[in-house]
Amino acid sequence: MSDKVEVLWLSQEEVIAAGGLDMTTVVDTVEDVFGLFGRGDYALPVKVSMNWDWDEPPPGEQKNHLNIMPGYVGGQLNTAGFKAIASFPRNPFKHNLPRASALIVLNDTELGLPLAVMDGTLISTMRTGAVTGVGAKYLAREDVTRVGLIGAGVQSRTQLMALKVTRPGLQQAAIFDIRRDRAEAFAAEMSDRLNMDIQIADNAEAVARQAEILVTATTNITDPIIRDGWLAPGSFYAHVSGYECEYDVIHHADKVLVDDWELVKARMYSTVALMWRDGEFADDDFYAEFGEVVSGQKPGRENDQEKIIFSPIGLALHDVAVAHRVYETAKTKGLGQKVTLWDNPLWM
């Protein structure tokens, strides 16, 4: 065996050329990972989250933070690595930069050697959208035609892309954002991309009451956006981010699902985690971890009247698995730059 070790570097453009924007493939990968999760074929430590801010953030917004998220997923994927992702909520408004920026590192599962380092910003937002898409496949009604979105950032774009993959009958969308110009830009872009009728709403209530699928993807952490009584019978609500709904919205759902309950509690970020902290949501109050549904251990939607809430925190398994498939495609297409890590190891 040669002592030379090379690592493949993939820029965001190369990630895209290797299928990073192929939402159908990302959805399929995320679904595969949920199935492996349900069968226990994974390793997933608690993510490390570091927060800091020189200035107090605007009311209701997160502090700047950096997460390190390792994971291993088995099956045919058999891949390991980690994502390092920084979230600086004021970047888009103050610096014309993305809120989130990320790198993903893949490691060989036999030797532990690094295989690739790639842009993870695109992969992260694609896999987060795909989680909601897979959620809708199992938890939304099959006949849905209307989706409502709160927040008009990049994340809502991939949420809608994924929903259109798994529920192709969607025809109409309503979007609300506290900045109307962002909602207008979203509607103009996504209506053309997905051939959908996208309307701009004046408030969150108007979106939620009409939605058969509702998605909240915001940076809100202090004042819930969705109020009790707004969700219609038979609706599916993807609670993507922080403190986005009143506690009673959760209390009055027929089923509440998470991706990994221990990670949800450890992150202490979403509404269900805050409810657990406050003694209003017990360890056995959620219906299932979603992998149990995908792996066939529990049924998903059982009738057209259930109000179902899915509140995932985000699994590094998805980042690593999507990055692995990007890596394999990049090798086939000859994409990326090989960087020498060492020619001969100095210490053995």
**Is 130 contained in some domain?**
no
Q: Are 257 and 232 in contact (CB under 8 A)?
A: no
- This prediction has a pTM of 0.93
Percent of the chain with pLDDT over 70: 95
Q: Are 161 and 99 in the same domain?
A: no
Output the domain CATH number for residue 182: 3.40.50.720
Look up residue 306 and give its two tokens.
Answer: 């259930």
Does a structural domain hold residue 222? yes
Supply the DSSP symbol for 292.
Answer: H
Query: What is the pLDDT confidence band of residue 56, given thresholds at 50, 70 and 90?
Result: low
How far is Cα 19 from Cα 329, in angstroms, rounded to an integer?
Answer: 7
In terms of residue numbers, what domain contains 265? 141-310
Average pLDDT over residues 213-224: 87
Strands 288-289 and 42-43: unpaired
Tell me the residue type at 227: R
> Which residue in this structure is represented by tokens 């979105």?
149
- pLDDT over 70 (residue 44): yes
User: What amino acid is encoded at 39 in this protein?
Assistant: R
* CA separation for the pair 127, 227 (Å, rounded): 27
Of the listed ranges 43-47, 148-152, 289-293, the one predicted with least confidence: 43-47
Q: Residue 269 and residue 250: Cα distance in Å, rounded?
A: 15
Instruction: Looking at the structure, tell me whether residues 207 and 159 fall in a common domain.
Output: yes
- Evaluate whether residue 306 is within a structural domain: yes
Q: What is the pLDDT of residue 6?
A: 94
Domain shared by 199 and 285, yes or no: yes
Query: Which of the 8 DSSP states describes residue 143?
Result: T
For the cut 60, the answer to whether the pLDDT of residue 60 exceeds it is no
Does one domain contain both 157 and 286? Answer: yes
Structure tokens at 112: 């532990």
CA end-to-end span of the chain, whole Å? 15
Highest mean pLDDT, choosing among 41-55, 107-121, 207-221: 107-121
- Residue 243 belongs to a domain: yes
User: Which sign, positive or negative, has the C-alpha torsion 19, 25, 31, 37?
Assistant: negative
Number of domains the chain is built from: 2
Please state the separation of Cα 319 from the chain's center in Å: 9
Do residues 301 and 326 both lie within one domain?
no
d(CA 25, CA 162): 10
Give the pLDDT confidence of 74-126 residue by residue, as tens digits: 999 999 999 999 988 777 778 888 778 999 999 999 999 999 999 999 999 99
Q: Are residues 46 and 115 in the same domain?
A: yes
Q: Is residue 97 part of a domain?
A: yes
Mean pLDDT, the chain, rounded, equals: 93
Q: What is the CATH number of the domain that holds 83?
A: 3.30.1780.10
- Tens digits of residue pLDDT in 239-253: 999 999 999 999 999
What are 214's strand-pairing partners? Answer: 148, 237
Q: Which of these is catalytic: 47, 83, 265, 298? A: 83
The encoded tokens of residue 213 equal 């699928």
133 lies in a domain? no
Same domain, 117 and 208: no
- On whether the CB atoms of residues 320 and 75 are closer than 8 A, the answer is no
Catalytic (active site) residue 338 = no
